Amino acid sequence: MTTLQQAIEQAKAAGHKAFIPYIMAGDGGLETIKPTILKLQQLKVTAIEVGIPFTDPVADGPTIERAGERALAAGVTLRSVLQTLASFRDEITVPLVVMTYFNPVLAYGLKPFAQACVAGGVKGLIVPDVPLEESELLREALNPYGIDVVQLVSLTSPPERIARIAAASQGFVYAVTVNGITGARSRFANNLEQHFASLNQASPIPVLAGFGISTPEQVKKMGALGDGVIVGSAIVTALHEGDLATVEALVAASKGMLEKSTL
Amino acid sequence: MMGISIANSVPTKEGRFGQFGGRFVPETLMTALLELEAAYEEALLDPAFIEKLAYYLEEYVGRETPLYYAENLTKALEGAKIYLKREDLNHTGAHKINNAIGQALLAKRMGKKKIVAETGAGQHGVATATACALLNLECVVFMGAEDIKRQQLNVFRMELLGTKVQSVESGSKTLKDAVNAALRYWVTNVEDTHYILGSALGPHPFPKIVRDFQRVIGVETRKQIVQKEGRLPDAVVACIGGGSNAIGMFHPFVDDESVALYGVEAAGSGLETGKHAAAIAGGQLGVLHGAYMYLLQDENGFVQEAHSISAGLDYPGKGPEHCYLHDIGRAQFDSITDAEALEALQLLSRTEGILPALESSHAIAYTAKLAKTMAKDQVIVVCLSGRGDKDVHTVRAALGGDVK
């Protein structure tokens, strides 16, 4: 079992749902990365998704796009983020998952990128513009370094495809809960239960829900569908505004949730 | 290599042209791309679809377009004989309508009622708005805020045609950001919406679909030049932004070894200034908008803005099939600056009474150089991809109000 999956299984064993916050690395400058990660680690999150800014973030909504623009304006790059992580590597105990578009990884070079990930304590990688068909290259390059490549499943993925993605994904399966881009939402489709039921059955590894989850109520509701949640835009907004209370409330919502089998 | 067709060997079923192309998109779009591919292959085998497309191309677009012997231009340059493939005479004034009609018919066949598209200068947006008006499809076009400022008339044309134009305020506020916005819209509305991508770019199967719908340019040209000259041309020239008019013109000639293919990129203020749109000359391999291709980017993999006086060439990448033709040495790519294109625009206007689009003026400028190096009995065919009426304001501003 990989480090990432182990962290999720531990949360489950303790009666919690996994909670992975997404941060835009360097929103507010590179120097914000260390205190942000250490604070989230202190709140006992399951893992942290470290977002890398990109010029053309096609899977992201306005909140993360703006945060990315602020980070880009501060000169933040994939390289400088990984260097920053390496600088306080010894203090990091929570698994880190890098979320980046593919082109910065290509420009870095797959092998140097994998080595820099190891130096920064990175245990997983999410690349939203690399679907199953193009993902083999990433697994070949990163698995030898102990880094999981997480694949996404969407509401539009048919059952046969869901099974193949779940079989290929590592650490967990990232289940996109909306047709659309990242960002807060008040409504979700009403066939989510059915979608997650078949996804949970098909997947040999944990299933985490993400996209559009922005309130403690949604954390509970969406968390119940699988093994946990990923919260992005709401965390990014709260951190940008220095609103730690909201971050704490979101994390707290994932704690002590009963396993869905006992509901 | 005798008997092996380069033209028909790509793309592979994974959407690769050699190492280029592919499908680098969010998972939410994968099913839509696979469905589109299946629907497209099915449509190609349906005589009723082919017949309907042929009907609209002939009766509505006004095909076939003439292959015009530019005698005055030829005489002025004192070199090879120059023929112009008059795509500027199509309905809406450019080659873009060939693809827009084809994809709109495909969308209807797939039962999609809504269309999303991106546009830079507005030509593809106008062509798509036109096809949607004709075929009763609801249409939204994303356009960068900067481009909206530069192309007010095209915005109004689209609105007259019943299309909603959405301003894109993020990033560089130009074509690449309009594609981002259109992709996001498509991800969100994928169930009932088809994305009509305007160039030979994007994830598979778009580069193939756009190429196939634009191939009519080269197919007609091949037949026409044989009628007029009794043989194939020595050279074929086309401008290339993403590369839709160029791939449509080149493709039927790819397996004819005697025909040299020249793609002309926009050199903007000059390659040495860094302000250009020449991804093959000055870019590196990378992924943007779903495809692996030559791309203008910095050392961190951040995509750089393209620069060209011609909004239609103002894109930081080159279509994957062109990248492939470049890598295997089948086509040559060169570039033309803003200043050279402006000069060529005036040259063609004066000698032939044809005002070419700024995009097409790049091809004319390159042809002017090429013709002088060739013998008088040799033949060049140039794709005159669009008319220049849309560019009159830009040209006037660039020339300081004075026509030389």
Does A153 lie at the interface with B, CB-CB under 8 angstroms? yes
Rounded CA separation A214/A185 (Å): 7
pLDDT value of residue B402: 64
Do the bridges between strand A48-51 and strand A96-99 make them parallel or antiparallel, or are there none, so unpaired? Answer: parallel
Mean pLDDT value of segment B378-387: 98
pLDDT tens across B318-372, in order? 999 999 999 999 999 999 999 999 999 999 999 999 999 999 999 999 999 999 9
List the Cα angle B238/B239/B244 in 5-degree steps. 85
How does residue B382 score in pLDDT terms, banded at 50, 70 and 90? very high
Interface test with A, best of B23, B168, B287 (most A CBs within 10 A): B287
How does residue A185 score in pLDDT terms, banded at 50, 70 and 90? confident
Residues of A in contact with B22 (CB under 8 A): 133-134
Q: A50 by DSSP, 3-state: which?
A: strand
Q: Which of A49, A65, A148, A227 is catalytic?
A: A49
Instruction: Kindly state the percentage of chain B with pLDDT values over 90.
Output: 91
pTM assigned to the model: 0.96
Q: Look up residue A137 and give its two tokens.
A: 């290259």
Does A68 lie at the interface with B, CB-CB under 8 angstroms? no
pLDDT tens across B310-329, in order? 988 999 999 999 999 999 99
Q: A153 by DSSP, 3-state: which?
A: strand
Does A128 lie at the interface with B, CB-CB under 8 angstroms? yes
Question: CB–CB of B300 and A107 under 8 A?
Answer: yes
Rg (CA), chain B: 19
Contact criterion met (CB below 8 Å) for B135 and B163: no
Rounded CA separation B392/B121 (Å): 13
- Tell me what ipTM this predicted complex has: 0.94
Does B11 lie at the interface with A, CB-CB under 8 angstroms? no
Distances (CA, A) of A161 to A149, A229, B88, B207: 17, 22, 45, 24
pLDDT tens across A18-35, in order? 999 999 999 999 999 999
pLDDT value of residue A226: 96
Question: CB–CB of A161 and B31 under 8 A?
Answer: yes
Does B189 lie at the interface with A, CB-CB under 8 angstroms? yes
Residue A259 has pLDDT above 80, yes or no: no
Determine whether A243 is an active site residue. no
Q: Sign of the C-alpha dihedral, residues B11, B86, B359, B170?
A: negative
How does residue A263 score in pLDDT terms, banded at 50, 70 and 90? very low
Closest chain B residue to the Cα of A180, Cα to Cα = B188
Active site residues of B: 96, 118, 385
Mean pLDDT value of segment B166-174: 91
How does residue A190 score in pLDDT terms, banded at 50, 70 and 90? confident
Q: Which long-range contacts (CB under 8 A, 24 or more apart) does B176-179 make?
A: B176/A56, B176/B288, B176/B289, B176/B303, B176/B305, B176/B306, B176/B315, B176/B316, B177/A56, B177/B144, B178/B118, B178/B119, B178/B120, B178/B142, B178/B143, B178/B144, B178/B147, B179/B118, B179/B142, B179/B289
Burial of B188 (0-12, 13-18, 19+ CB in 10 A): middle
Distances (CA, A) of A28 to A61, A237, A238: 19, 12, 13
Question: CB–CB of A103 and B297 under 8 A?
Answer: yes
Does A104 lie at the interface with B, CB-CB under 8 angstroms? yes
Bridge partner residues of B286 (DSSP): B293
Residue B118 has pLDDT above 70, yes or no: yes
Determine whether A9 is an active site residue. no
Q: A137 by DSSP, 3-state: which?
A: helix
Among the listed residues A73, A70, A71, A126, the one whose alpha carbon sits nearest the alpha carbon of residue A97: A126
Residues of B in contact with A157 (CB under 8 A): 27, 30-31
Distance from CA of A135 to the nearest CA of B (A): 10
Question: CB–CB of B184 and A105 under 8 A?
Answer: no
Mean pLDDT value of segment B178-184: 95
Contact criterion met (CB below 8 Å) for A148 and A199: no
Residues of A in contact with B301 (CB under 8 A): 78, 103-108
Instruction: Kindly state the percentage of chain A with pLDDT values over 90.
Output: 91
Question: CB–CB of A154 and B171 under 8 A?
Answer: no
Question: CB–CB of A56 and B176 under 8 A?
Answer: yes
Rounded CA separation A211/A229 (Å): 9
Q: Look up residue B242 and give its two tokens.
A: 């993403």
Distance from CA of A213 to the nearest CA of B (A): 16
